Structure 1
Amino acid sequence: MPSPLSLADVEALRARTPGAQTVTHFNHAGASLPSSATLEAIRAQLWLEARTGPMEAGVTGREQSERARLLAARLLNARPAEIALTTGNSAGWGAAFAALAPLRSGERILVGRHEWGGNLAAMRLAAQRTGATIDVIPSDSSGAVDPQALEAMLDDRVRLIALTWMPANGGLINPAAAIGQVARRHRIPYFIDAAQTLGQLPIDVAAVGCDVLSGVCRKALRGPRGTGLLYVREDFLPRLTPAFVDTRSAPLGTDGEPVLRNDAARLELSESSLALHCGVANALEEALEIGIENIRARIDSIAQALRVQLAEIPGVTVLDQGREQSGLVAFNVAGLEPLSVQSKLAAQGITIGSNGVGYTPLDMEPRGLKQIARASVSYLTTEPEIDRLLNAIRALRGE
């Protein structure tokens, strides 16, 4: 069993992370800093391809792809056959959504108010084509999606419940398992966007009760860009017919007809980066060795301390909602546009994020938010880094 992270553990992890030596990084929710070992796993596969031929090196690469699938299954308490390797969160979520049976006029999709803008775009286009509707599940007093309000909305026209577990515009954590209980009780398909959750919070897909869960590897998992994971519950898979297929997802049978795979790889395509899969496998192994519970505990402690200290700076407003919160800390600085705050900090070697309405329009518009500054932490984040960020923000305020 992994043991809780000590300061010595964190320093050792930072020593094996090149970016930790060169930048004060508070944009882990955008993309975190990969380890030297993850970078080396990618490099080794690329060099193998260069020396022996890309196709010939595919045997080794495919072994690492399957290793990544096994490790992802461990991470999510799933079966390897329920895991697809994707090129990112939107690619995985979108492939699963497009594989559902077509919507019909009058049918409904229910979404939390924090739904990712990319998912909303896909759902709205489908609704426009078919005459379906998208309805927003009310939130409770903390700002989180309300399971009781969801239950009151249900009728026989509801085709899908969609939830973004951790919104991109702040620290709120939605009650994914409680929503899952409602979905399972009424046998309604349930999709979770876990882009920010993957690698930051322990995930047990069986306990959460979702049919589909998508995630990306470049955030808390510290994997390479251009990679993601998709979970599809085994007995839900027959309800998904991919929008397009190739020789991997539906190879031709002896009669010349396509045969859809009977595992989640029916949502994969044959063209993928085996080198990046090598990086994903290493990143997953590192996260599992550290222990997701340990990662969650350290991130929560750091983020809560950062919220308190930011709120103490005159003119700084912390915008996070929710009773349970993540490592994303949203704030604004009076008199400064968030993009300006981001730019001024970047000039000092301090990276933060800045999100607009397009990320989470159903939440930001009702709250009157046009843009937010976002400092997102990792288990790699240290007190000196927090002090540097806080001092830089104080300086922006002219203190």
Structure 2
Amino acid sequence: MSIDVEAVRRQTRGVLCVTHLNNARSSLAPGPVMDTVVGHLRREEQIGGYEAAEEAAERLEGVYSSLARLIGAGPDEIALAESGSRAWAAAVYGFPFVPGSRVLIGRSEYAGNVIALRQLARRNDLQIVVLDDDRYGQVDLEQLQRELERGHVAMVALTHVPMANGLVNPAAEVGRRCRAAGVMFVLDACQSVGQMPLDVQSLGCDVLAGTGRKFLRGPRGTAFLYIRAAVLERLEPAMLDGHSTVPTGAGGFEVRGDARRFESWETSAAGRLGLGRAVDYALALGLDAVQERVVGLADQLRGELAAVPGVTVHDRGITRCGIVTFSVKGTDARNIRSRLAEHRINVSVAPLPSAQADSIPTGTRQGEDLVVRASVHYYNTETEVQRLVGFLR
């Protein structure tokens, strides 16, 4: 099944305004998604927020089923959140770390995750071990195996698609090795969900976090968390409220028995409905077709960039995705982004793919550490790719 690009572009109003090659930061949402969000907000305006949510209760419940279908999970294994980082942190902060144990991470781990793990390391006397990259730039599976065999590993945390080097980490193989060692495997799928098929059974992860605003093309402020049912009871939320617990009488309570123990009561019903609509939109297109289109456009962009004098493409990996990173000799990445924006071409900047997880103090880096990041999606066209390359020429 192939994607009718013209049809999806007719449903993407933003393509009339910009050449949007910044999908790894936030995609242009399809019209049906934004119509869902705005439609519910109008309903809140008309009858009240709680009343509108009650009216939409069945549709809101359906969001869990849609997300479960997207990643091959059960609805009870899904929780909703306001950001991928918060979803990821909700599970990780709820893990019962034993003092002195070790946490293994990849060298391309997302900086925000590294900061959270450093805080947990201080609190729990943990050791964070940064796994090397292999010769292709992805996480070194042989070092992972050696560290697992050394023992005292509490958790392996991996970013499936790093933000700035175009590769897809071999998550399924990591999951297989973690499962064999009896070690918790937490997968950050914020950059992979929506641009490729994901199945948590094949990936072997115990926890997966994803966001709505990137390749899923959902609204900002939406995300989800998957927790495998078999490990759910090991994770207790850092904070509880009336939504994450059930009363037991005489003032007592129990933590909910499903993944929604990691949710809070107050949320944006409009955003959640928009997320569900975005998931259904992606499922209708087919994630295999989405991946084929995205990889094809990204390969075209890499090839054409490599032919431009002074341009260096930094992507690595055996399996690559829709994220393309490059630099232009003698030109600051932020200046390139600004000049492209003047021509209504959207890109972003990101840390050099060689940035090491054990040296990231914050989520930002400066000057020569930055590269340009162009990220394509299925609604982009070959002409838009050529427009970017033509500007650089």
* TM range, smaller chain: over 0.9
Alignment of 1:184-199 (within 5 A): 184-199=179-194
1:126 equivalent among 120, 124, 131: 120
C-alpha separation in 2, matches of 1:64 and 1:198? 22
Secondary structure of residue in 1 paired with 2:208? strand
In the TM superposition, residue 60 of structure 1 has moved relative to its aligned partner by: 3.0
1:212 equivalent among 189, 198, 207: 207
CA spacing shift, 1:212–1:223, aligned 2, 3 Å: same
The residue number in structure 1 matching 2:252 is: 257
In the TM superposition, residue 352 of structure 1 has moved relative to its aligned partner by: 0.2
In the TM superposition, residue 363 of structure 1 has moved relative to its aligned partner by: 8.5
Q: Deviations over 1:256-288 (max 9, x none)?
A: 212111111000111110001111111111100
C-alpha separation in 2, matches of 1:329 and 1:200? 14
The answer to which of 300-309 and 148-157 deviates more is 148-157
The residue number in structure 2 matching 1:335 is: 330
In the TM superposition, residue 62 of structure 1 has moved relative to its aligned partner by: 3.2
C-alpha separation in 2, matches of 1:364 and 1:332? 22
TM-score (structure 1 length as normaliser):
0.94
* 2:138 equivalent to 1:144: yes
The residue number in structure 1 matching 2:270 is: 275
In the TM superposition, residue 345 of structure 1 has moved relative to its aligned partner by: 0.3
The residue number in structure 1 matching 2:363 is: none
The residue number in structure 1 matching 2:364 is: none
RMSD over aligned Cα atoms: 1.7
C-alpha separation in 1, matches of 2:259 and 2:182? 20
In the TM superposition, residue 372 of structure 1 has moved relative to its aligned partner by: 1.1
C-alpha contact (below 8 Å) 2:97/2:154 kept by paired residues: no
C-alpha contact (below 8 Å) 1:168/1:360 kept by paired residues: no
Which amino acid is 1:118 matched to?
G
C-alpha contact (below 8 Å) 2:164/2:325 kept by paired residues: yes
* 2:308 equivalent to 1:323: no
Alignment of 1:27-176 (within 5 A): 27-104=22-99, 106-154=100-148, 155-176=150-171
C-alpha contact (below 8 Å) 2:336/2:372 kept by paired residues: yes
Q: Deviations over 1:71-118 (max 9, x none)?
A: 1000001000001111111010000011111441x2110001110000
C-alpha contact (below 8 Å) 1:357/1:364 kept by paired residues: no
The residue number in structure 2 matching 1:382 is: 381
Secondary structure of residue in 1 paired with 2:28? coil
C-alpha contact (below 8 Å) 2:164/2:350 kept by paired residues: yes
C-alpha separation in 2, matches of 1:25 and 1:302? 13
CA spacing shift, 1:335–1:75, aligned 2, 3 Å: same
C-alpha separation in 1, matches of 2:185 and 2:152? 14
C-alpha contact (below 8 Å) 1:327/1:377 kept by paired residues: yes
C-alpha separation in 2, matches of 1:354 and 1:362? 18
Secondary structure of residue in 2 paired with 1:71? helix
Identity percentage of aligned residues = 39
Which amino acid is 1:260 matched to?
V
Which amino acid is 2:102 matched to?
R
Q: Deviations over 1:157-184 (max 9, x none)?
A: 1110010000001201100000001100
TM-score (structure 2 length as normaliser):
0.95
In the TM superposition, residue 68 of structure 1 has moved relative to its aligned partner by: 1.1
Secondary structure of residue in 2 paired with 1:124? helix
Unpaired runs of 5+ residues, structure 2, are 361-366
Secondary structure of residue in 2 paired with 1:339? helix
In the TM superposition, residue 220 of structure 1 has moved relative to its aligned partner by: 0.7
Secondary structure of residue in 1 paired with 2:245? coil
Which amino acid is 2:392 matched to?
I
Alignment of 1:291-370 (within 5 A): 291-356=286-351, 361-362=356-357, 370=369
Q: Deviations over 1:203-244 (max 9, x none)?
A: 110111100000101111100000001100001100010000
Which amino acid is 2:136 matched to?
S
The residue number in structure 1 matching 2:20 is: 25
Q: How many residues align?
A: 386
1:233 equivalent among 224, 228, 232: 228
C-alpha separation in 2, matches of 1:66 and 1:91? 21
C-alpha separation in 1, matches of 2:242 and 2:123? 29
In the TM superposition, residue 355 of structure 1 has moved relative to its aligned partner by: 1.2
Secondary structure of residue in 2 paired with 1:55? helix
Secondary structure of residue in 1 paired with 2:209? strand
Which amino acid is 1:340 matched to?
N
